[in-house]
Amino acid sequence: MDKLFDWDLYGKLFALPYVQAALVAAGILGLVAGVLGPLIVSRNMAFAVHGTSELSFTGGAAALLLGADVGHGALAGAIVAALVLGLLSRRSSEHDSVIGAVLSFGLGVGVLLLWFYPGRASNKFGLLVGQIVGVDFASIALLAICGVAVLLVLLVIYRPLLFASVDPEVARARGVPVGLLAVIFAVLVGVATALGVQTVGALLVLALMITPAASAARVTASPLRATALAVIFAETAALGGFILSLAPGAPVSAFVTGISFLIYLVCWTVGRMRGRVSIAAPAVVTGPVVAR
């Protein structure tokens, strides 16, 4: 516990190149997750994110076994997962069952691939719970390119995508390509999920993709304010979790999930208090207003 408050140790750690690279990686992931998160929540895609992360984990495990870059493997696995989920679950009634089938398949294959991998156990563990200190400046380039690409595509499709997310039936009647937007957005989510595999791991990527947006939804109904708050919450969790994990050398995902959940509890409390105030406010008027 004393290490958490050893500022001299933090000063030495922040001077290390791999720590600086990890901070940049956490910042990029926080931004992308915060921007995509409110749309994921409004489209009820939390389970889809978990399913995508499983095939992202499978792609990373395959890359680890083949000696390729884990980031590229996770990215390929996530894109495949997004396309599979988008094409197989055309109807909302079968969406969860398709995700469940893909999720279990991806996790099973990933575990088998890790069993074949003869290398260090820490590399296997890092795919599941994150290993952000392993991110180098070459990986930062991939993170930055993917992050910018996701944000640019989202900027182009944001208005029709938001329309389709709020009221898909009316959007379809107005000529909005709801099905195509769903597939494109699934790919964007897949790319963002792949970025989180090396940072918080495949099992806990929901802490950045879902929890900050769910927290923002508790305190505001405005899409723009929710996005701004989700970015702030995601950056706080990503950067704060990484910084707190540095001195003790603990897994970063534990701190990221802890901060995310603490933010959610605070926002949930604020939302509940606001709800009680709005319900109690009309009770102030107890009788008809008499004109004088």
CATH number, domain containing residue 172: 1.10.3470.10
Asked if residue 49 belongs to a domain, the reply is yes
Q: Residue 133: its pLDDT value, please? A: 54
Asked if residue 173 belongs to a domain, the reply is yes
Per the CB < 8 A criterion, the answer to whether 64 and 117 are in contact is: yes
Q: Residue 284: its pLDDT value, please? A: 46
Asked if residue 291 belongs to a domain, the reply is no
Q: Structural domain of residue 245, as residue ranges?
A: 2-274
Neighbours of 212 (CB within 10 A): 32
Q: Residue 241: its pLDDT value, please? A: 85
Cβ burial of 260 (10 Å; 0-12, 13-18, 19+) is buried
Encoding tokens for residue 246? 């540095």
Regions of the chain where pLDDT drops below 70: 1-7, 10, 86-95, 119-139, 198-204, 276-292
What is the DSSP-derived secondary structure letter of residue 132? G
DSSP 191-230: HHHHHHHHHH-SSSTHHHHTHHHHHHHHH---HHHHHHHH
- Count the domains in the chain: 1
Asked if residue 231 belongs to a domain, the reply is yes
Asked if residue 283 belongs to a domain, the reply is no
Asked if residue 284 belongs to a domain, the reply is no
Give φ, ψ of 119 to 5 degrees: -80, -165
Asked if residue 109 belongs to a domain, the reply is yes
Asked if residue 288 belongs to a domain, the reply is no
User: Residue 187 is which amino acid?
Assistant: V
Give the distance, in angstroms, between the CA of residue 128 and the centroid of all CA atoms in the same chain: 15
Tell me which residue of 10, 56, 234, 29 sits closest to 132, measured CA to CA.
29
Tens digit of each residue's pLDDT (9 = 90 or more) over 120-163: 545 555 555 566 555 555 667 778 888 899 999 999 999 999 99
